[in-house]
Amino acid sequence: MTDDVLLVHGGTPLEGEIRVRGAKNLVPKAMVAALLGSGPSRLRNVPDIRDVRVVRGLLQLHGVTVGPGDEAGELVLDPSHVESANVADIDAHAGSSRIPILFCGPLLHRLGHAFIPGLGGCEIGGRPIDFHFEVLRQFGAVIEKRPEGQYLEAPQRLRGCKVRLPYPSVGATEQVLLTAVLAEGVTELANAAVEPEIEDLICVLQKMGAIISMDTDRTIRITGVDRLGGYNHRALPDRLESASWASAALATKGNVYVRGASQREMMTFLNTYRKVGGAFDIDEQGIRFWHPGGDLSAIALETDVHPGFQTDWQQPLVVALTQASGLSIVHETVYESRLGFTSALNQMGAHIQLYRECLGGTPCRFGQRNFLHSAVVSGPTKLQGADLVIPDLRGGFSYLIAALAAEGTSHVHGIDLINRGYENFMEKLRALGANVELPAQATATA
Ligand code: EPU
């Protein structure tokens, strides 16, 4: 498909300003939360990305009206007439995103039943959903696996429960939150994820009337209420997209002002960026990131749950590490297969060796299980343009960065996948002076 290929002529530093809007990993979930309200909700700072469109479609299938609000990037979601959706219509969304799994609790509360299609999302590990179904069962849901998807029923009102997650999963924590708020009694969730997007979802639910407290030891307590109203909320900025552009600035020896980037959610990333040798300047409106000249430094990096170094920051930063002097060590502890993207970087000239061992002391579930989840990056290495096929969202953005930093032209295939989580990335690349073209345009101007 020629229209899914981007030609990237590398070697130009990215320079200029772009804006990030609300977080991809919060906005679709806040949209699902609107299902729980008895009145309309208003969500602001919504990016135009595919995950938002998928959830919007699923909400509309269930009778929620979703329309624009007064300002750009505002959605008004009205769940006054929630109804069952046709299974075939829901199934049309199979494989499109991971968010549909979060419809379980809200639909069980509103309708007494829910149908969840096969999930999509990036292939960066097995990504099972066992925690989700286990907690839903504890709330009293009955789950039946059918050929077309999962069918759930709540024979009576769901009841609060005491749950301990085997791992602080973001999605399973959100599942508990979205289910417990209207369940009968108190829910206590131990070993919960505490990512900033989860805190923001808790803020959304509190605005709706929920009672939720967070302890310092990853325990979240939710006291169920009988009724929730709508909310009016501005989504927190996308710290993952912000870090992607920051890494692009570093790898291309550029200078990018990310309007909307926020320090609070990015502290761990900013510390690491500084250790590598990247410079940044924070003001009220955003953060400027740049390469200050001279050599970048190799670092040891371990991904972890918040407040550790977020796994979604890892792939874009690894491209910058190929330009650092010495041996950088990367230990990925959240996903077992999030380093496969490095083989294409090696084809471009990078020296990255993968290991099955844990190269770091952070507790990790993958050390004894034969997964290539650690890397040693030896740099600096010159990168050459290549033919690249995008493997997943963040890996795909990393390939764009590598192509921009490389000498010569790269053909990046499958760029449509990037639209899943990066709003208007083509316009942003052009605004930063990137020399990119779609083949159709190349032909038109030839
Ligand atoms: N896990 C299980 N069983 C479960 C759920 C999770 O074993 O039932 C494991 C996963 O396999 C993984 C780990 O727990 O090894 C963490 O998964 P988590 O549930 O935290 O991830 P998620 O909710 O599926 C969200 C983001 C990811 C981000 C992770 C971690 C969304 C839509 N996705 O995924 O974002 O990497 O949390 O912070 O919110 C991305 O933006 O590119 C992306 C992949």
Sign of CA dihedral 118, 121, 125, 128: negative
Q: CA–CA separation, 202 vs 62, rounded Å?
A: 23
Residue 118 token pair: 């096969």
> Which residue lies with its CA nearest to atom 11 of ligand 1?
127
Q: Residue 272, Cα to own-chain centre: how many angstroms?
A: 20
Counting as low any pLDDT under 70, the low residues of the chain are 1-3, 441-446
Contact present, 131 and 137 (Cβ < 8 Å): no
> Which residue lies with its CA nearest to atom 17 of ligand 1?
169
Is 122 a known active-site residue? yes
Q: At what angle do helices 104-111 and 130-138 cross, to 10 degrees?
A: 30
Selecting among 122, 161, 358, 364, the annotated active-site residue is 122
**For residue 439, cis peptide bond before it (omega within 30 degrees of 0):** no
Instruction: Give per-residue pLDDT as tens, 378-405.
Output: 999 999 999 999 999 999 999 999 999 9
Residue 252 token pair: 């291309």
Which of 20, 24, 25 for a ligand 1 pocket mutation test, highest count of atoms within 8 Å of Cβ? 25
Query: What is the distance in A from the centroid of ligand 1 to the CA of 170?
Result: 6
Q: CA–CA separation, 191 vs 355, rounded Å?
A: 29
Query: What is the distance in A from the centroid of ligand 1 to the CA of 407?
Result: 35
Which of 31, 50, 54, 170 for a ligand 1 pocket mutation test, highest count of atoms within 8 Å of Cβ? 170
- Burial of residue 76 (CB within 10 Å: 0-12, 13-18, 19+) is middle
Instruction: Give per-residue pLDDT as tens, 158-167.
Output: 999 999 999 9
Query: What is the distance in A from the centroid of ligand 1 to the CA of 209?
Result: 27
pTM, two decimal places: 0.96
Ligand 1 close to Cβ of residue 127 (< 6 A) = yes
Instruction: Report the candidate in 199, 24, 35 with the shortest Cα–Cα distance to residue 104.
Output: 35
Q: Which residue has the tokens 């200078």?
A: 255
Residue 52 token pair: 């938002």
Q: Provide the pLDDT for residue 368.
A: 81
Ligand 1 close to Cβ of residue 132 (< 6 A) = yes
Instruction: Give per-residue pLDDT as tens, 86-116.
Output: 888 877 777 778 889 999 999 999 999 999 8
Ligand 1 close to Cβ of residue 311 (< 6 A) = yes
Contact present, 156 and 108 (Cβ < 8 Å): no
Please give the C-alpha separations between residue 376 and each of 94, 289, 304, 313, 351, in angstroms, as whole numbers. Answer: 37, 25, 18, 17, 8
Q: Provide the pLDDT for residue 3.
A: 59
Query: What is the distance in A from the centroid of ligand 1 to the CA of 113?
Result: 25
Q: CA–CA separation, 274 vs 387, rounded Å?
A: 32
Number of H helices, E strands in the chain: 14, 24
